[in-house]
Amino acid sequence: MFSFSVVGRSGAARAGLLTTPHGAVETPAFMPVGTAGAVKAVTRAQLEEMGAQVLLANTYHLMLRPGDELVAELGGLHGFTGWTGPFLTDSGGYQVFSLAALRRIDDDGVSFQSHIDGTAHRLTPERSMEIQSHLGADLIMAFDECPPGAAPREEVAAATERTTRWARRSREAHRRSDQWLFGIVQGGTHLDLRDRSAADIVALGFPGYAIGGLAVGETKDDTWRVVDHTAPRLPEDKPRYLMGVGTPEDILDGVARGVDLFDCVLPTRNARNGQLFTSRGRLSIRNARHRRDPRPPDPECGCYTCRTASRAYLRHLHLAGEMTAATLMTVHNLSFYLDTLRRVRQNILLGRFEEFRGEMLRALAASEAEAEGGA
């Protein structure tokens, strides 16, 4: 039902195959974020056409609306949404700490008020496992505490220890054999805390591991210092997931350090705000220079948007507030991310990932003026 194998290497970069009850995922892989059970602005058919393999859904949001029991009644996430491929759900912890009002953390769990209607809720490792069981994703996450990037060391140390205790309770409460439960390594930017967390979480024997607590306000140098230190401390034969990261450049850098799975809201959120990721850097569709530009967003991209829409048309739709603008630009950005990961995997299998990474990083570093064809 489940398996993971590394089928190719290029330096520390790995090409793998993750098999789940709802299909296989070729890694490294990017998971589009479908917070409330849908990726914003695009349909399931569009995701399939883009080649999305696995979607991420959010435990906190689905618990609050429409409710995890309702989702379970309607066949879990797969029956409820119609997506036939694998799902991953996060534990809900990050959203509780970042969104919920008046939260109160204790060793048992977290009490908080909904950011939607102010109703009171309680989330514990056991409740997180129950919700994720109801949602029925293939890959689920242990309940963890993610402290802010600027938190003092004492707070990070306490959160790290609590995450280990909660991981053990999540493991004990996990019941479904058709769900793989991942453990999460915390520790902020403190390498000794990362050491302790990695050792404790690995000792619990999860089938997959995530590096959490990054992209929460720390510097890029600190992010990669932590990943450099932590990834080698995770088992070679298990999938590794870098949570919430990031830009195309970040994904290339993560793959170079042996990471297999990524998720981030950037391609969808930035699309709705008029920013496109292209093979020659980022492009702001709002720029006046696109008013009469007949070219596609990225001449090197074969997505539906680049085949059918000009920069001038996209700019018009965006400035006019047309919903179609968000759809077309989201299709492009997700296609760019997914295609990048396919090319990454191909180059790992060819044994030339570092050459490919260098070429792509140089191209992505091009100025916006170059991406937009000059002033």
Catalytic site residues?
90, 263
Query: Could you give the C-alpha distances from 242 to 84, 231, 264, 277, 313, in angstroms and in order?
Result: 24, 9, 10, 21, 36
Placement of tokens 């600027």 in the chain: 150
Q: In angstroms, rounded to a whole number, what is the distance separating the alpha carbons of residues 274 and 99? A: 25
Give the chain's radius of gyration (CA, Å): 20
Host H or E run for residue 89: strand 87-89
For 262-293, b where at least 16 C-beta lie within 10 A, e where not — what string? Answer: bbbebbbebbbebbbbbbbbbbbbebeebeeb
Report helix, strand or coil for 98.
helix
- CB within 8 A of 165, min separation 6: which ones? 107
